[in-house]
Amino acid sequence: MTIHCTAFAGHRRIASGAPHQVVGAVKAATEAGESVLVFDDLDARPVEFDLRGDLNAILTRLAPPPVEEKRGPGRPKLGVTAREVTLLPRHWDWLATQPGGASVALRKLVETALRDAEGPDRIRKGREAAYRFMTAIAGDLAGYEDAVRALFAGDAAGMDAAMSTWSQDVRATALAWAHPD
């Protein structure tokens, strides 16, 4: 899976993109004595780079290892995972009457639930990412507590007002995660 990340030196965004596009700026800022934080753009979790050696050595370590595809006899792997499901007898009875059987019915129910929860899940994950980012980079800034309260209250204007003294890069990044639309 390809990730994209954003790097900050202090409260200034220094690079954004795939790790191989960001690591050069991270190494340069670190060598200049700056404090650098790198965040995964998906969920604001920290990303760490092994900065030992020159840039070519670092880029070599970042390259994914070659994937050997093993092909043998039998059916191709379909990505289906078998796990145990515990249901009440009436649930099993209902599943047994569904076209395609229990597995098809369960897959359809899960897909429907995923679709229905997409909006609320996106909002929740965005708030969690914004909180993670704000705590890591702005936890000591004026207005942090008010910004966090506004974030979880869904108050975009209040959050923006609480962050009014923050750097434009930090504000824009926090707001982008907080409101992923």
- pLDDT tens digits along 27-60: 999 999 999 999 999 899 999 999 999 998 998 8
Helical spans, DSSP H, in the chain: 19-31, 55-62, 89-96, 101-138, 144-153, 156-162, 168-178
Please check whether residues 42 and 97 belong to one and the same domain. no
> Does 52 fall in a domain?
yes
Residue with tokens 């030196």, as numbered in its chain? 9
Of the three residues 20, 43, 62, the one that is the final residue of a domain is 62
CA distances from 40 to 58, 132, 133, 141 (A): 18, 11, 10, 22
Average pLDDT over the chain reads 88
Looking at the structure of the chain, the number of domains it has is 2
State the Cα angle at 43 between 64 and 140, rounded to 5°.
120
Q: Give the predicted TM-score (pTM) of the model.
A: 0.72
Same domain flag for 51 and 93: no
The answer to the question of residue 70 being in a domain is no
Residue 106 lies in a domain: yes
| pLDDT at residue 2 is higher than 60 | no
- Which pLDDT score is estimated for 160? 93
**Element at 103 (helix H, strand E):** helix 101-138
Is residue 118 assigned to a domain? Answer: yes
Domain that holds residue 168: 89-178
